[in-house]
């Protein structure tokens, strides 16, 4: 588990990357220990994820077994934190970028904290702003987050925009498949 200083430095690094400042990478612990400790971001993201899932489930018209839903969503959450790092391990080796695998995962893990914060802000805006305008704002935020992931990926891997785009799309497909599967199980 990272200490408070490492968490704050890492979140600051993710914040700097959000402003397209590649020096944000210097704030991460890019060692193998830092790699494993970066998964602590999942603990920080979990409450926000739970709120977003609860908001999604509230709108369901059919009855729901809360115990089953909690189990399915917990397993999906854990799987979503493991799926892309495993896929990226293979892809970075295939693309000759394995030397930057650890920085990629560290940066993306800490960036997830900011991303969930933005989605929570969008959810609050959705309560205040009705209908079509809310949908437009959510679309803009989603595109912005995908651009942020692209920038983080390109910066961490020190690669081309096209390869970064490929990896962002792989992560998007994996997370979408996991979420859709979880939704079907409930």
Average pLDDT over residues 8-15: 98
Per-residue pLDDT at 64: 81
Over the stretch 100-150, which tens digit does the pLDDT of each residue have?
999 999 999 999 999 999 988 887 777 677 776 777 888 889 999 999 999
Domain boundaries, the chain: 4-185
pLDDT of 172 over the 90 cut: yes
Q: What tens digit of pLDDT does each residue of 25-71 get? A: 999 999 999 999 999 999 999 999 999 888 888 877 787 888 888 89
**DSSP H helical segments within 19-130, as ranges?**
32-37, 41-58, 66-94, 101-128
pTM, 2 dp: 0.91
CA distances from 6 to 10, 48, 110, 153, 166 (A): 6, 21, 11, 21, 30
pLDDT at residue number 134 = 74
pLDDT of residue 151: 98
Asked whether the beta carbons of 10 and 81 are under 8 A apart, the reply is: no
pLDDT surpasses 90 at 152: yes
Token pair in block for residue 66? 């809360």
DSSP state of 159: -
Mean pLDDT on 78-86: 97
The pLDDT value given to residue 156: 98
Structure confidence at residue 65 (pLDDT): 82
Query: Which of 98, 95, 114 lies closest to 152 in space, CA to CA?
Result: 114
- pLDDT score recorded for residue 105: 98
pLDDT for res 127:
66
């Amino acid at each position: 588990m990272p200490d408070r200083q490492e968490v704050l430095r890492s979140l600051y690094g993710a914040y700097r990357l959000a402003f397209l400042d590649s020096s944000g990478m210097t704030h991460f612990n890019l060692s193998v220990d830092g790699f494993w400790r970066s998964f602590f971001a999942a603990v920080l993201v979990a409450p926000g994820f739970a709120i977003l899932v609860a908001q999604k489930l509230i709108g369901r018209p059919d009855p729901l077994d809360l115990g089953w839903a909690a189990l399915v969503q917990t397993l999906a959450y854990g799987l979503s934190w493991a799926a892309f790092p495993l896929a990226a391990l293979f892809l970075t080796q295939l693309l000759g970028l394995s030397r930057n695998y650890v920085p990629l995962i560290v940066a993306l893990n800490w960036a997830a904290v900011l991303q969930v914060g933005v989605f929570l802000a969008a959810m609050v805006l959705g309560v205040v702003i009705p209908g079509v305008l809310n949908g437009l704002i959510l679309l803009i935020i989603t595109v912005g987050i995908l651009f942020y992931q692209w920038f983080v990926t390109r910066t961490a891997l020190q690669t081309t925009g096209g390869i970064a785009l490929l990896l962002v799309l792989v992560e998007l497909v994996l997370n979408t498949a996991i979420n859709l599967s979880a939704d079907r199980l409930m």
